[in-house]
């Protein structure tokens, strides 16, 4: 959506960004709680992941659009237009390699966001508590008063797992960005 809006511009950009702005304005957390309350019996991890994916994309689309707007007026884009390439082919063959580092880093950031949101929902009891996740471990530890009883590791271990997971995904995003980004690849080759 960001590639199409940034490259095509005009009314396509206005329509796509209007839809994007609607999804940006929707508060995600209350909607996820509402979906849980409505679909309590059919709630599972897949449904939660689909809902988060439906509401979590607009910020990335806006970022990709801004990068594509900058690529639209570059010399290689003009040469591709003069060579007779179709807009779809220009977006996929010319612009996508420049946008890929952003896509991968935002994908990792979205994973961190989704894990944090699932942990938050589970700690508050708004997920299926029979599915073992880090959030449900924290929920049951809190429910059984782990700190009052003196079993601090019931809370410390899940929190450590979340911190290690967040740190690992962040480091993976940084390393993928350095590997995929054409500018850093040229710097590594000495150009």
pLDDT digits (tens, 9 = 90+) for 65-93: 988 888 888 888 888 889 888 888 988 88
Q: In the CATH scheme, what is the code of domain 2-189?
A: 1.10.3720.10
Burial class (CB in 10 A: 0-12, 13-18, 19+), 127: buried
Domain ranges of the chain: 2-189
pLDDT at 148: 85
pLDDT digits (tens, 9 = 90+) for 97-120: 888 878 888 888 888 888 889 899
Q: What is the pTM of this model?
A: 0.77
According to DSSP, residue 26 is labeled S
């Amino acid at each position: 959506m960001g590639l199409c809006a940034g490259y095509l511009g005009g009314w396509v950009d206005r329509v796509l960004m209007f839809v994007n702005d609607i999804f940006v304005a929707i508060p995600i957390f209350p909607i996820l709680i509402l979906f849980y309350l409505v679909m309590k019996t059919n709630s599972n991890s897949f449904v939660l992941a689909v809902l988060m994916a439906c509401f979590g994309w607009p910020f990335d689309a806006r970022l990709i659009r801004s990068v594509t707007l900058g690529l639209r007026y570059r010399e290689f884009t003009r040469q591709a237009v003069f060579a007779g390439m179709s807009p779809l082919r220009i977006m996929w063959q010319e612009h996508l390699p420049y946008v890929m580092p952003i896509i991968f880093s935002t994908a990792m950031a979205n994973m961190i966001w989704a894990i944090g949101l699932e942990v938050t929902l589970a700690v508050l009891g708004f997920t299926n508590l029979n599915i073992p996740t880090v959030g449900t471990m924290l929920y049951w530890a809190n429910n059984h008063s782990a700190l009052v009883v003196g079993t601090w590791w019931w809370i410390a271990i899940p929190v450590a797992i979340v911190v290690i997971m967040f740190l690992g995904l962040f480091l993976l995003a940084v390393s993928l960005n350095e590997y995929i980004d054409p500018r850093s690849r040229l710097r590594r080759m000495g150009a």
